[in-house]
A and B are shown apart, each in its own frame.
Chain A
Amino acid sequence: MDGSAVVPADEAIWVSRAKEGDQAAFEAIFQHYERQIYGFIYRMMGNAEDASDLTQECFIRAYRALSQTSDDLNISAWLHRIASNACLDVLRRRQRIRWLPWETHKHEHLLHGRPMDDPERQALSLETQATVHQVLQQMSPRNRMALILREFEGMSCEDIGQVMGLSRSAVKSVLFRAREEFRRTYRRLEEASRS
């Protein structure tokens, strides 16, 4: 097993080489971030089709713009910024603030193959996942983005600021509001399902 692939030791070297046109370096960057960017977009858009299209678009934009970036590029924040702009563009265009229905059957295969042989546990787990997904999709895009970047992507407030074009203190405020919105929405959905 190779743990070295988890965090690229010499990411700056990859970026530098990719900027010079080294396709293998771009390939390494692509492979390292593809799953992460796809996951981020999937959480933002709420469906696999958009996630697939926008991930593709994100990397194509990145490939074309890479040569114009600065030497101290934070590649993760940069890719997320491209992805978040792409998401917001589409959401604005569609004026779609409401969430798409969660289609459980489409997502079961995404559970990464770890068998869950307890049906009750599996049902509970899927139900909770569906609720969380539903809550995320009901949140405002801005709050949702901050929450996903922080909790799902594990980004620092500073990096989130880079992605969203906000100061660090503004990010803290957005995160507070996002958590409150998530909490209230979650409660509301739970109460609705109980009643």
Chain B
Amino acid sequence: MSRPGCKSIRPLISAYMDGELMPDETRRLLEHLAICEDCTTLLQEYQLLREQVRHLPPPTPPAHIQRRVWEQTVERGEPSRFQRWFGISGARFGLSAVGAVAVLLIATAFVLMRGYERIVPPAVTGAPPATVQEWPVQRPIEITFNKPMDPESVVEHLRIYPPSEKERLPISWRGNTMIIGASPSETVPLLANTDYRIIILPGAKDAYGGSLRTPWELRLRTTTVLAQEPTPTPPPTETRPESPTQPAAVVPPTATNPPPTQPAPTPTTGQPTAPIGAGPTVAPTQPPANPTPTEAPSPTPTTPPTVAPTNTPVPTEPPAASPPPDGSPSPGSPPVATPVPVTGAFGSVYWAYDDVRARLGAPTPPGAYSAAAGVLDFQRGTMYARFDTRTIYVLQSNGVWFSAPDTWTANDPAYGGPAPEPNLWIPTKSFGKLWTENPSIQEQLGYATTETAHEPMDGRIQEFANGLMLYSDTGYVYVLYVDPSNPYQGQWEVYPDSSGHGDLVTPTPEPSPSEPGATPEPTGEPTASPSPEPTTTPELSPAPTENAGPATPEATPEPTQDGTPIP
């Protein structure tokens, strides 16, 4: 129903679409939208308008414009360099002859290469350069392999972050090239102004059954310009950016974030195996020019939340609502001498990455436990709420996390609603309140990529001497390193759950020093216990048969396979 204030709100809706509101105006608008159906509908209409205008097919300029401009400017009667560069007159016949020869050569090479193709391991040979800073949303992402792949296997081992995008974006194939964002019948635009990570995990198979040996990753940020078609502009040679072989640009942490001291994960194969989320090696692009984003974490650190999160390096007691699972002793009497196991999805990350293990330190009692939780992905980060301690972890794509108290109650507005851009939303409830009340969080995270949070879910948490791991049942492990000077903030990374048993029930074998052939824990930490996770969590479903029950001494530690951190 229309309300008295609607008339003054309407210009704000338009300005909101353009990112032109001041923080207090944004808050006023969002609060109004939460209670006014008419204005929410208007916002949706504006959004539809935007979508319709932006998705008009871009017209193609006729070729003669180039020629005529050239004739009246650069050429001025000189022999037509334009024709040398662009013209094809008279070339048709030559082209067909050359084409015939090329076809013959290709056919011969094809026959010869067939045998070679079988034995060469699969690898990615072509993809957008890692240095691309702004990717047009209408441009599908193409990843080319060196040989025919098994599409099902590749898609199964494909991870896209934000996770909801794997569901939304069509994936198709053209020969050896996988196309994300387009199918033969449609092109689905990427989310605007969003940090994407595309990962192909080892295990993706080629058509002959050979597996990708090392993980492959691409990071890019999309542009806000929906309609701009990429133009085939060859810039002058000397202005070209770095060669594709150069590593992705590393963005230094902001002033509020000390530079990371840990190197990126160090695979023995030399292939980058960086985590998907942000972190020290993250952020392919610079944050917006507006200086406010760098202040994003400041509100919380400077005004510590009233509800203390459970992310202190050494928790004194486990959360009351979270009985320690996995057969660990009862809360209240944490064992001192018994090593705490790190298993399942947590183990698949902890034992696979030396630097993760080194930075987190030893696991602390009571080990992994369950808690009601919710997770919501944003354009440039993630929020993870645990409802046992009413804490929300804000994970920003610049690699910084901080925690804030969850103060939403049923008496508060539900928040939510459409964002100015298509397929983006204002977060709801707990996430919505924190987001709406903190412009710096809005600036840093952007909008939610799904309409509602993934909740309630059975979140899993494990604490360590210097941080904690969070698991969402969407298949990701978030690793949070606690800042020694402030337990409510630090650096974070996200890894795909590569344990193959995302239910976290099945134990991941830990390196056993006594096991011949097994890789002992290099640091000799007490957590490198030969005793694996002894039992399964009662409330969860049974694990796959091949991994069910306690790990046997014969089990091979995952990190040692091919020397790759992600097996």
Please list the residues of chain A having a beta carbon within 8 angstroms of any beta carbon in chain B: 1-10, 13-14, 17, 23-28, 30-36, 38-39, 42-43, 48, 51-52, 55-56, 59-60, 63-64, 107, 110-112, 114-118, 121, 128-129, 132-133, 136, 147-148, 150-154, 156-157, 168, 172-173, 175-176, 179-180, 182-183, 186
Contact = CB atoms under 8 A, between A and B. Distances in A.
Contacts of B184: 115, 117
B20 to A, nearest CB: 6
A52 B68 CA distance: 10
B233 A32 contact: yes
Interface residue SS majority, chain A: helix
A1 B129 CA distance: 8
A28 B69 contact: no
A33 B230 CA distance: 10
Contact of B57 (A64, A110, A150): A110
Contacts of A32: 231, 233, 235
Contacts of A168: 20
Contacts of A56: 65, 68-69
Nearest to A2: B129
A33 B11 CA distance: 32
Nearest to A43: B56
A6 B230 contact: yes
B14 A176 contact: yes
B65 A28 contact: no
B340 to A, nearest CB: 46
Given A51-B61, A183-B45, A151 B53 contact: yes
Contacts of A173: 11
Contacts of A116: 185-186
Contacts of B54: 151-152
A96 B186 CA distance: 36
B486 interface: no
Contacts, number: 194
Given A9-B241, A28-B235, A176-B11, A1 B53 contact: no
A136 B53 CA distance: 9
In the A-B complex, list the 6 residue pairs whose CB atoms are closest, starting with the nearest: A154-B225, A3-B132, A38-B61, A176-B14, A63-B73, A31-B233
B66 interface: yes
Contact of B59 (A9, A13, A51, A183): A51
Interface stretch (B134-142, B351-359, B376-384, B553-561): B134-142
B60 A14 contact: no
Nearest to B53: A151
Interface string B1-31: 0000000001100110110100000000000
Nearest to B74: A23
Contacts of A52: 61-62, 64-65
Most interface-central of B53, B56, B230, B231 (chain A CB within 10 A) = B56
A168 B182 CA distance: 37
Nearest to A36: B228
A147 B132 CA distance: 28
A4 B64 contact: no
B49 A63 contact: no
Nearest to A113: B60
A162 B533 CA distance: 65
Contacts of B69: 30, 56, 59-60, 63
Nearest to B42: A183
A26 B57 contact: no
7 contacts: A1-B126, A5-B231, A38-B60, A52-B64, A60-B72, A60-B73, A129-B56
